[in-house]
Homo-oligomer: A and B are copies of this chain.
């Protein structure tokens, strides 16, 4: 069930049976020579959509621009400042709580978002935690899950790409986007075959270290078939993990 394709009455009906929602969250940033700028938003979006279609999970709109200051040396990248992203996530959660959602599961597609998402959670929880009586009348559960950390997925990635999986512009994420947008498959040679690794700082430093944008990966291995397998496996794992999260502790 996709929130943006539902009416308000359908969401009202859904809320009678569940207080949980999955929100895909990603980034719009360079993904190397053959990766799409939308990769990190597309991956959680397509996985969540698949899970929503299969299992009836409610999937919210995609939070599609995140923390990508380090990629600003590559054209097309968009970034929020962390303080802006915290404010925006705060408003999204305030809106969802207003409707009675209690279990909000953020399916993330971008490693660079992790810190700010967790900071946003602390910002949101602070309101209740600083209330004078401390009673927290409305319980709220927030969870961050990176799609590649869903049960079984990283193992599948490593099996698919024993060499050159890397950590940015990975063949697995590129495969997922190729499955989502077959018309957008790019055929680009990688040079060097496997990209270098190193720490992440600001945009100028990043560009110097990683001239074509990749970190440690060889995404020329990406293909539609792998993407399909990854989406199906991840969607299944998501439905299960989300179910546990909503039902009790997760």
Which of A119-127, A146-154, A156-164, A229-237 contacts the other chain?
A119-127
Within 198-214 of A, Cβ neighbours of B (below 8 Å) are at 198-199, 201-205, 207, 213
Q: A5-B181, A115-B116 are in contact. Are A130 and B82 (CB under 8 A)?
A: no
Q: A61-B65, A119-B115, A140-B202 are in contact. Are A84 and B78 (CB under 8 A)?
A: no
**Contact between B115 and A92 (Cβ–Cβ < 8 Å)?**
no
A167 adjacent to chain B (CB < 8 Å): no
Q: Which residues of B contact A4 (CB under 8 A)?
A: 28, 36-38, 41-42, 64
| Least Cβ–Cβ distance between A191 and chain B, in angstroms | 13
Q: Which residues of B contact A202 (CB under 8 A)?
A: 125, 128-129, 136, 140
**Contact between B203 and A7 (Cβ–Cβ < 8 Å)?**
no
**Contact between B88 and A86 (Cβ–Cβ < 8 Å)?**
no
| Least Cβ–Cβ distance between A204 and chain B, in angstroms | 4
| Least Cβ–Cβ distance between A106 and chain B, in angstroms | 13
| Least Cβ–Cβ distance between A194 and chain B, in angstroms | 18
**Contact between A33 and B61 (Cβ–Cβ < 8 Å)?**
no
| Least Cβ–Cβ distance between A7 and chain B, in angstroms | 6
**Contact between B65 and A78 (Cβ–Cβ < 8 Å)?**
no
Interface size class of A (residues with CB under 8 A): 35 or more
Q: Which residues of B contact A126 (CB under 8 A)?
A: 69, 79, 81-82
Within 53-100 of A, Cβ neighbours of B (below 8 Å) are at 60-62, 64-65, 67, 69-70, 72-84, 86-88, 90-92, 94-100
A30 adjacent to chain B (CB < 8 Å): yes
16 contacts between A and B (CB under 8 A): A4-B42, A5-B36, A5-B181, A5-B183, A7-B36, A8-B31, A9-B75, A28-B60, A41-B61, A67-B122, A77-B99, A112-B122, A115-B119, A128-B202, A134-B203, A136-B205
List 7 additional A-B contacts (Cβ < 8 Å) besides A5-B183, A67-B119: A3-B38, A5-B37, A9-B33, A116-B122, A128-B204, A135-B204, A140-B201
